[in-house]
């Protein structure tokens, strides 16, 4: 963490100033945003990829399109146990971003997470690059189902309308991201005057390349571990994304300074 010699405090003050001066902010977030809500990430030592899957397959293989197609029952067994957290609640990061949006300063939240926590916090301008566990649909007729339907079934969830297989609207390995979502994300970044990247190691593409659409002197990194952009970004803070955003986006909007124009 950047706590030595007051470095962290100086960076917090700098970020507060940047947010105050900016009117078109975009936030790009990864799994580190949701870990503070009790949802594990994928790549850390305690992450999903390093956990026992409970099956004879590796977690990284299970969440692929080919595995889903060949072994749907095993996929859903793992999916329900490891990827769905219906009791998770929005944390300080989600709530701070909601406040920023309500103040009219946030263009978009671009998330790589599938947990719907930004929306639960009240965010309306969310772009879900990898889909959402809250949306599920029948592969045969397209009927839609909530997460609760998948969780209360056993084995392979099937459609009540036609009996087809119901799958989550999430992007698995070997599948393409929705081009419309990518276009929306890039369009928002190109309009931004500040981009805050938080809770992501910037190793998953195409999100890892999104910062190239904005000059790096308008990019801030907030992450516990280092990223390839740390030395290029105008500001890097190695700390909890929730703590940093909660400190820099206060619960009460700053009062506008009164103009002294025309006074003696």
For residues 229 and 207, give the distance between their C-alpha atoms in angstroms, rounded to a whole number: 13
Closest CA to 120 of 39, 225, 221, 45: 39
What are the Cα distances from residue 256, in Å, to 67, 72, 253, 259?
55, 56, 9, 9
Q: Is 216 a catalytic residue?
A: no
Residue 27 and residue 201 in contact, taking contact as beta carbons nearer than 8 Å = no
- How many residues would you count in the chain? 264
Write down the catalytic residue from 65, 71, 118, 130. Answer: 130
Q: Would you please indicate which residues are annotated as catalytic (active-site) residues?
A: 130
């Amino acid at each position: 963490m950047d706590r030595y010699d007051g470095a962290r405090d100086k960076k917090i003050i700098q970020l507060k100033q940047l947010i105050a001066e900016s009117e078109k902010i975009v936030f790009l977030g990864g799994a580190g945003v949701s870990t503070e809500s009790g949802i594990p990430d994928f790549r850390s030592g305690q992450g999903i990829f390093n956990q026992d899957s409970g099956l004879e397959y590796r977690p990284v293989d299970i969440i692929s399109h080919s595995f889903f197609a060949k072994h749907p029952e095993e996929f859903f067994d793992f999916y329900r146990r490891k990827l769905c957290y219906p009791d998770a609640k929005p944390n300080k990061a989600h709530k701070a971003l909601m406040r920023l949006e309500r103040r009219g300063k946030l263009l978009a939240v671009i998330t790589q997470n599938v947990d719907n926590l930004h929306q639960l916090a009240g965010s309306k301008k969310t772009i879900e690059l990898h889909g959402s566990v809250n949306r599920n649909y029948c592969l045969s007729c397209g009927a839609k189902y909530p997460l609760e339907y998948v969780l209360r079934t056993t084995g392979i969830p099937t459609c009540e309308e036609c009996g087809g297989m119901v799958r989550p609207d999430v992007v698995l390995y070997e599948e393409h991201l929705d081009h419309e979502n990518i276009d929306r994300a890039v369009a928002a970044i190109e309009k931004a005057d500040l981009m805050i990247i938080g809770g992501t190691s910037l190793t998953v593409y195409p999100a890892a390349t999104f910062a190239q659409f904005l000059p790096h002197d308008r990019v801030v990194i907030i992450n516990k571990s280092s990223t390839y952009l740390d030395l290029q970004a105008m500001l890097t803070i190695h700390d909890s994304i929730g703590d940093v955003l909660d400190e820099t986006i206060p619960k009460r909007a700053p009062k506008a300074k009164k103009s002294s124009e025309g006074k003696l």
